[in-house]
Structure 1
């Protein structure tokens, strides 16, 4: 009762309406929890009780148990109850226990709920969705054209018949009759001719006697004007073609459309972010690889390629809603306008308002499109973002062209987009290390090319004539590479023969790797692979990380044919890898 009094006064003082029910829910949930916890003693509980602190804390922490993980209701209800307790504590004539007031003014124990971001449509789903949208547009166009053509064939129902579809369409098209006239002038549905009964029923088997006239009026209007269901297809096509939100593609009117010689410029408004954008969308030329219509004998085979140009969709939408916009001059901020017949037989020409029975999910069912996961139109925008991320190779600065990078990362970097971004990061890092391995000053020099490396070629890379001759003769072969000066190695004293070959040759500036070294490199790769299985990643990276990166860079530069030929040499016993005995001691490390 104490909390209820505060709630009543708070609602009256603030005049809130939308969230008033939340406070009521919080009070009810708390009372239920206290009743369940204290049993018969609950009746005597008051906000002045010192021992109620632990009970309120337990109640707040238990709230999420009845809701989904991402629900915000628990935190909202807990915050609402805190407001009521604080309000009561602020009143000079109302007592609240000090620890309860401290709880109410303290930090919230619950978060606002983890928001689960929707993933994009699969590419096949999106392709089917766009195709279904175009089919819906064509079907709507055909239905309206047939309806107006039939209306031209009719006459006033008083001169013709009130049970003639053509005459009823004629009267509605010319505003000579109203839906209410249909209600008053038509006979009972049991006396209708079969064609009129079937027309009114639509996809249903038979019109219901109680609603038959209303069904008929709505079916007649649907032959003359687009209805709510029809415009879902245009929203899908505009979101696919522009990549902008549902709010933006349905929020521009005729005054915000400017057709260009090869495209269209739209003024897009995003109310939530307070953004006004002027965007030009150019028509894309036909792809060069698009197959031309083929012929089989005398019969032409044509392929219906749906156009994704924004200008084509906008022109269709403008044309299809012309008559509705003429009857709804009060609607200027959107092209998404529809005609309907209300339950009281009043015709309504107004902006598009998808209702629960005409939702995007219902449109998917009617179009026969199967979608996995959440049936939300917002996933279409994410699908376009994924395509943009693919085109930009995962560069956030390019993919987030209509967002801040933080917003893009928070709302769109999930699912496929996240994998693309991650793959781009990994590929960039690998390329950096590969390039560093091949171009580092103190690393090996790799000579790739045909097997017949001649002395003149080697001399052109900076070797002396004697060094080039020795390399070709194999006199400087150190196992996995050749060495231009084994007595001046970076790992030994000057003048002494290198003591770490061939284990460190892939990290040495004196090393020269020729195509003939490929079999030994493959054997060395096997050796390092074995070490990776027995050493911790940290130990392997510290001891062999640079050699492994350099080795992978060299091997990745070889063609499959070269690798296959080298494997044949290994299998034939023509290539061996001589390693010092110390190379195996790391197995005990």
Structure 2
């Protein structure tokens, strides 16, 4: 049995919910989920005893775990099994029970037959079988509830059918994503203008009793100052034929016509939309936040005002991933404005126009806070999200509530259509998340460990490693293998990357241009990766140690490591290290020195040979004034002192 479809049926289910049937009792089992009631009535099946046993576990498990809408799968699994048992056993189904080992063959037959009624690759059969296994195991865990040992073993085994193949959506193309971001900014600016104009118009009005119930400024004034309600408008506004043209145009359909029955409700919604953001307005912010942060829809719509901390150059957000139960603090730095080349029709000497702040999370959050500023105080009980809006319900009630991104006529697909964005394929917001993953896979050159920074590698490979991402990862694997054998053939020795500021000053942009990521460049410039004789782009990914552990040989082996980046500021330390190697060279036999220190000595001499006399003189001056010292581990000395 499903949802109560009549008032009498709903009242019956509510009564059953308030007076639940005890485990093993007689009567319907009812579970409440958001906006719905689900019911299993064992009396509807011949195998009523079996249905009652499973329904008891269903009710208790739903209450213990707060499954929400997922509880439908368990109800569907019970209904499917009981119908199968009724058909397979006939009148004998009346005695069917989980305590009866003879039910084993029927359970196996039901489970293996599940895929027959669904399309190939469907994941539903596996989900239903898994739900049934869980209910059986849960009942077996109760000491006072009997389950046949054979059935208990079946419940603890993996399901007998495959999990199916989920149809993964491919990402948006780069052109589609750019169009979405551009449309989102256009929507944000249009929303801001509409609200500013609405409040400015409301400021020119007065109470409709003193002015007119057909004057838009007066109606806006009354709604803005909470002196009237949509119900007052419904009861007081005259008939449609008496409306002035501006009021009639505001409530008109897209084709310009008006409906007598819907004109008042349409007018109320349009007036409220001039004062407060709507569901469609907030779709744009979801797009922009997903693009700016790279996080999932459920995360960027689930942080409140207390979860926002503005930084001098960005914003820090506290994000909650509900499915995984993760609460994470993420900082997003601002980027420099992107210069846009002028169009051909523009004056060649005209000013360069700066693009919208396309990927600045701080700017998006500021805009969202500003646009929802008048709604949040009216929905003070909602503190876990900034996505709140005003809506007029069918009964003319004005409600300030959290938004529903999947609203019937205001979902992501409707927003795309309204903004005129051309999209091929499924209009699903999850594709935007996959687009971000593709960008990350490109930046990380296909390394799963780097691209899956907010997932396990297994989850990333299962949900995101398709399409473009898979091709990038495959290409990276092939290129890495080819390069490995090429290096082996040449007996190549990795060495440091050397930057010279003879012409340009070393800065973050120059470091990024040489292959470093933005964060690595920033850390080097801030001195966080300074190892003495060089900087290290990844101290925990040393070729001389285990992944994840700090490099065990820094700074002695930095001069023969591919992770090392030598900046002009390292020159004094390099001179001191050269003096140290000179002492070592005088103590060791030539063959012993060449075997241990030969490559480092060669690389060091090559680095110093590229320095000008002026640079070397300045570096020695730093050494002589005592502003620079060489820090080496004890192992660099004890070997030779002994």
Same fold (TM over 0.5): yes
1:226 aligns with 2:270: no
Correspondent of 1:363 among 403, 407, 415: 415
Q: In structure 2, what is the Cα distance between the partners aligned to 1:50 and 1:267?
A: 52
Decide whether aligned partners of structure 1 residues 430 and 72 sit closer, same or farther in structure 2, where only a CA change above 3 A counts.
Answer: closer
In structure 2, the partner of 1:483 is: none
| Superposition pairs of residues 116-135 of structure 1, within 5 angstroms | 116-135=167-186
Q: In structure 2, what is the Cα distance between the partners aligned to 1:98 and 1:392?
A: 51
User: How many angstroms does 1:238 deviate by?
Assistant: 0.7
User: How many angstroms does 1:224 deviate by?
Assistant: 0.5
Q: In structure 2, what is the Cα distance between the partners aligned to 1:94 and 1:26?
A: 20
TM-score, length basis structure 2 = 0.60
Decide whether aligned partners of structure 1 residues 4 and 366 sit closer, same or farther in structure 2, where only a CA change above 3 A counts.
Answer: farther
1:385 aligns with 2:385: no
3-state secondary structure, aligned to 1:338: strand
In structure 1, the partner of 2:308 is: 257
User: How many angstroms does 1:231 deviate by?
Assistant: 0.5
In structure 1, the partner of 2:51 is: 7
| Superposition pairs of residues 149-160 of structure 1, within 5 angstroms | 149-160=200-211
> What do you get for the CA RMSD once the two structures are aligned?
3.7
CA contact (8 A) 2:318 2:330 kept: yes
3-state secondary structure, aligned to 2:409: helix
User: How many angstroms does 1:93 deviate by?
Assistant: 13
1:372 aligns with 2:424: yes
| Superposition pairs of residues 240-279 of structure 1, within 5 angstroms | 240-279=291-330
Q: In structure 1, what is the Cα distance between the partners aligned to 2:139 and 2:303?
A: 48
User: How many angstroms does 1:23 deviate by?
Assistant: 5.9
Q: In structure 1, what is the Cα distance between the partners aligned to 2:329 and 2:104?
A: 56
Q: Which has the larger radius of gyration?
A: 1
User: How many angstroms does 1:74 deviate by?
Assistant: 2.0
CA displacement, residues 348-373 of structure 1 (integer Å, 9 cap, x when unaligned): 11222222332212222222223233
| Superposition pairs of residues 477-488 of structure 1, within 5 angstroms | none
Q: In structure 2, what is the Cα distance between the partners aligned to 1:16 and 1:50?
A: 24
| Superposition pairs of residues 563-582 of structure 1, within 5 angstroms | none
In structure 2, the partner of 1:187 is: 238
Correspondent of 1:344 among 373, 395, 402: 395
In structure 2, the partner of 1:436 is: 488
CA displacement, residues 430-480 of structure 1 (integer Å, 9 cap, x when unaligned): 122233334489xxxxxxxxxxxxxxxxxxxxxxxxxxxxxxxxxxxxxxx
1:397 aligns with 2:449: yes
1:114 aligns with 2:165: yes
Q: In structure 2, what is the Cα distance between the partners aligned to 1:335 and 1:94?
A: 47
User: How many angstroms does 1:45 deviate by?
Assistant: 5.6
Decide whether aligned partners of structure 1 residues 280 and 86 sit closer, same or farther in structure 2, where only a CA change above 3 A counts.
Answer: closer
1:209 aligns with 2:209: no
Correspondent of 1:423 among 456, 475, 479: 475
In structure 1, the partner of 2:225 is: 174
Q: Which has the higher contact order (CA 8 A, sep 6+)?
A: 1
Decide whether aligned partners of structure 1 residues 433 and 121 sit closer, same or farther in structure 2, where only a CA change above 3 A counts.
Answer: same
3-state secondary structure, aligned to 1:358: coil
In structure 1, the partner of 2:357 is: 307
User: How many angstroms does 1:16 deviate by?
Assistant: 5.7
Decide whether aligned partners of structure 1 residues 438 and 96 sit closer, same or farther in structure 2, where only a CA change above 3 A counts.
Answer: closer
Q: In structure 2, what is the Cα distance between the partners aligned to 1:202 and 1:319?
A: 30
| Superposition pairs of residues 294-333 of structure 1, within 5 angstroms | 296=346, 303=353, 305-308=355-358, 309-333=360-384
3-state secondary structure, aligned to 1:281: strand
CA contact (8 A) 1:11 1:20 kept: no
User: How many angstroms does 1:163 deviate by?
Assistant: 0.9
Decide whether aligned partners of structure 1 residues 306 and 100 sit closer, same or farther in structure 2, where only a CA change above 3 A counts.
Answer: same
Correspondent of 1:143 among 194, 198, 203: 194
User: How many angstroms does 1:186 deviate by?
Assistant: 0.8
Q: In structure 2, what is the Cα distance between the partners aligned to 1:62 and 1:217?
A: 53
CA contact (8 A) 2:47 2:86 kept: no
User: How many angstroms does 1:27 deviate by?
Assistant: 5.8
In structure 1, the partner of 2:577 is: none
TM-score, length basis structure 1 = 0.65
In structure 1, the partner of 2:542 is: none
In structure 2, the partner of 1:284 is: 335
3-state secondary structure, aligned to 1:130: helix
User: How many angstroms does 1:318 deviate by?
Assistant: 1.2
CA displacement, residues 208-250 of structure 1 (integer Å, 9 cap, x when unaligned): 3223212111110000000111001001001101111112211
3-state secondary structure, aligned to 2:319: strand
Q: In structure 2, what is the Cα distance between the partners aligned to 1:224 and 1:143?
A: 8
Query: Please, which runs of 5 or more residues in structure 2 have no aligned partner?
Result: 1-44, 63-67, 494-642
3-state secondary structure, aligned to 1:268: strand
3-state secondary structure, aligned to 1:265: strand
CA contact (8 A) 1:3 1:27 kept: no
Q: In structure 2, what is the Cα distance between the partners aligned to 1:194 and 1:231?
A: 30
3-state secondary structure, aligned to 1:357: coil
In structure 2, the partner of 1:521 is: none
Number of residues paired by the alignment? Answer: 437
Q: In structure 2, what is the Cα distance between the partners aligned to 1:344 and 1:153?
A: 29
CA displacement, residues 249-298 of structure 1 (integer Å, 9 cap, x when unaligned): 112222222222322222222233333322222221235x7436887569
Decide whether aligned partners of structure 1 residues 432 and 332 sit closer, same or farther in structure 2, where only a CA change above 3 A counts.
Answer: same
